[in-house]
Structure 1
Amino acid sequence: MEIAIASQNRRTTTAHAGKCTHFWVLNTEKGSCVSLQLEPEQMLSLAGDLAEHPLQQVDVVLAASAGQQLAARLASVGTILSLTEHGDPRAAAEAWLKGCRPAPSVDGNGRCLMIIGRT
């Protein structure tokens, strides 16, 4: 299984998955974690057909917030979008693997789901 964690600053799990250009991609079978830097035009919010997107091969995308339209677009290529309240990318992936999904959320002005009480 491959899990991509939005981490724009390369240190913490970040918000706005659709606008993120950096992801950590964790491969649970290989035990590897690699950095994936997207070109600006590859941001999920700008990318057209996700069938050819660099994140298309991942099973799960984790982020602190994301829009419902992005969740639907990712689902169309078989990728789950899940929110996390964990600031540490590895902890976010570990929590998801242990069944902690999705984190509590509220609508953010009708566009983006935001985490409540993120630590």
Structure 2
Amino acid sequence: MGTKIAVTSQNRRTVTPHAGRTRRFLIYEAHADGGYELVDRVELPKDQTLHEWGNRDGHPLYAYDVIIAGSVGPNFIERMARRGVEVLPTSETDPETAVRRYIDGTLPVEPPHEHHHHDHDHD
């Protein structure tokens, strides 16, 4: 089985920011030959955003190897790393390009940043 990659995409078209508050993810599987495919689209209930979930076990996103997001905070990266999930904040906005560049090792990775605002709804 290949690497399972979840890409934050609230609008299903672009890589969107705020990974901890994201409910919609595009799920790709990267293959050993360097290929990849879109294998699923996940929509979490509002109470299952990682921001709301907290540190409990059993979150569906813990099953993925990598999360690619438009932005994340350092606590999110640390929490997911403890679950064995690599988190990559990127400036790349196209989900397919982000996955391809991750596989190629050319994905531009941004530093994490703190979120100091309170907009809870991105729909």
- Give the TM interval when normalised to the shorter protein: 0.7 to 0.9
Counterparts of 1:32 and 1:87, CA distance in 2: 16
Name the structure 2 match of 1:17. 19
Gaps of at least 5 residues in structure 1 are: 113-119
1:103 and 1:42, CA in 2 relative to 1: closer, same or farther beyond 3 A?
same
Higher strand share: 1
Deviations 1:75-109 (A, max 9, x none): 010001101111111111111111124524474xx
Query: Cα RMSD over matched residues?
Result: 2.0
TM-score (norm 1): 0.82
Please point out which of 42, 46, 52 is paired with 2:58. Answer: 52
* Counterpart amino acid of residue 111 in structure 1: H
CA contact (8 A) 1:13 1:63 kept: yes
Number of matched pairs? 110
1:50 and 1:11, CA in 2 relative to 1: closer, same or farther beyond 3 A?
farther
Higher helix share: 2
Q: 5 Å matches for 1:75-114?
A: 75-105=81-111, 107=113, 110-111=114-115
Name the structure 2 match of 1:31. 37
Note if 1:8 corresponds to 2:31: no
CA contact (8 A) 1:68 1:111 kept: no
Q: Percent identity?
A: 31
Gaps of at least 5 residues in structure 2 are: 117-123
Instruction: Name the SS for the 2:52 alignment partner.
Output: coil
Deviations 1:39-89 (A, max 9, x none): 101101111335301111100000110010000110010001101111111
Superposed displacement of residue 26, structure 1: 0.4
